[in-house]
Amino acid sequence: MIQRRLLLLSCAVFATASPLACGPRPPQTTRCSADLLPGDLVISEIMANPDGTDAGNEWFEVYNALGENVDITGLRLISSRADLTGEKVHAVSSGTIAPGQYYVFGEDSENGPPFIDYGYGAGLGSLRNSDGRIALECNDVIVDEVVYGNTSDGKSLSLTGAIAPDYQANDDPASWCNSSENEFAAGNFGTPGAANEVCPGGPNPTTCDEGGMQRDLRPPTPGTLVITEVMPNPAAVNDSAGEWFELLATAAVDLNGLEVGTEVGTPRTTLSDSHCLSMAAGDRIVFARSLDEGANGGVSADFQLPFGLTNSNGSLFVAHEGLLLDAVSWTSAPSGASLQVDPGAEDPTANDDSQNWCEGTEPYGAGDLGSPGEPNSACPIRPNPGECLEGGAPRAVVAPAAGDLHIVEWMPNPAAVGDSDGEWFEVQVSRRIDLNGLELGRTPGAVDAVVGDPMGRCLTVDAGTYLVFARSTDSAVNGGLPQVDAVFGFSLVNSDGSLFIGYDGQVLDQVTWASSTAGAATQIDGQGKTCAATTPYGQGDLGTPGAANPDCP
pLDDT reported for residue 7: 27
Cα pseudo-dihedral 48, 49, 50, 52, rounded to 10:
140
Quickly count: other Cβ atoms within 10 Å of residue 259's Cβ: 22
Q: Give the separation between CA 178 and CA 156, rounded to whole angstroms.
A: 6
pLDDT reported for residue 470: 95
User: Which DSSP helix (H) or strand (E) runs through 419?
Assistant: helix 419-422
Instruction: With beta carbons less than 8 A apart as the criterion, state whether 46 and 102 touch.
Output: no
pLDDT reported for residue 16: 35
Q: Give the separation between CA 222 and CA 323, rounded to whole angstroms.
A: 8
Task: Supply angle C-alpha 15, 52, 132, rounded to 5.
Answer: 25
pLDDT reported for residue 172: 80
Tell me: domain 405-542, CATH 2.60.40, correct?
yes
Q: Give the separation between CA 155 and CA 471, rounded to whole angstroms.
A: 59
pLDDT band at 205 (very low <50, low <70, confident <90, very high): low
Q: Give the separation between CA 65 and CA 103, rounded to whole angstroms.
A: 11
Q: Give the separation between CA 22 and CA 5, rounded to whole angstroms.
A: 14
pLDDT reported for residue 268: 86
Tens digits of per-residue pLDDT, 525-535?
A: 999 999 999 99
Tens digits of per-residue pLDDT, 235-276?
A: 999 998 999 999 999 999 999 989 999 999 888 888 877 789
Residue that wins the pLDDT comparison between 30 and 470: 470
Q: Which long-range contacts (CB under 8 A, 24 or more apart) does 493-497 make?
A: 493/412, 493/442, 494/412, 494/413, 494/419, 497/412, 497/442
Q: Is the pLDDT of residue 23 over 70?
A: no
Q: Give the separation between CA 110 and CA 90, rounded to whole angstroms.
A: 18
Instruction: With beta carbons less than 8 A apart as the criterion, state whether 545 and 481 touch.
Output: yes
Q: What is the mean pLDDT of the chain?
A: 90
pLDDT reported for residue 3: 30
Tens digits of per-residue pLDDT, 434-466?
A: 999 999 999 999 999 999 887 788 999 999 999
Average pLDDT score over residue span 495-504: 96
Q: Is the pLDDT of residue 82 over 90?
A: no
Taking the CA atoms of the chain, what radius of gyration do you get in angstroms? 30
Tens digits of per-residue pLDDT, 312-343?
A: 889 999 999 889 999 999 988 999 999 999 99
Q: Give the separation between CA 493 and CA 499, rounded to whole angstroms.
A: 10
Does pTM top 0.95 for this prediction? no
DSSP assignment of 220-285: --TTSEEEEEEES--SSS-HHHH-EEEEEESS-EE-TTEEEESBTTB-SEE---SB--EE-TT-EE
Adjacent-strand bridge partners of 499: 511
Task: Supply angle C-alpha 56, 61, 62, rounded to 5.
Answer: 140
pLDDT band at 29 (very low <50, low <70, confident <90, very high): low
pLDDT band at 201 (very low <50, low <70, confident <90, very high): low
Fold of 225-369: Immunoglobulin-like (2.60.40)
pLDDT reported for residue 27: 54
Q: Which one is the CATH code of 11-201: 3.30.930.10, 3.30.450.20, 3.40.190.80, 2.60.40.1260? A: 2.60.40.1260
Q: Give the separation between CA 458 and CA 389, rounded to whole angstroms.
A: 5
Q: Give the separation between CA 438 and CA 6, rounded to whole angstroms.
A: 55
Domains 225-369 and 405-542 share a fold: yes
From the list 259, 256, 248, the residue with the least C-alpha distance to 223 is 248
pLDDT reported for residue 154: 92
Q: State residue 187 phi and psi, 5-degree precision.
A: 80, 5
Sorted by where each begins, the domain ranges of the chain are 11-201, 225-369, 405-542
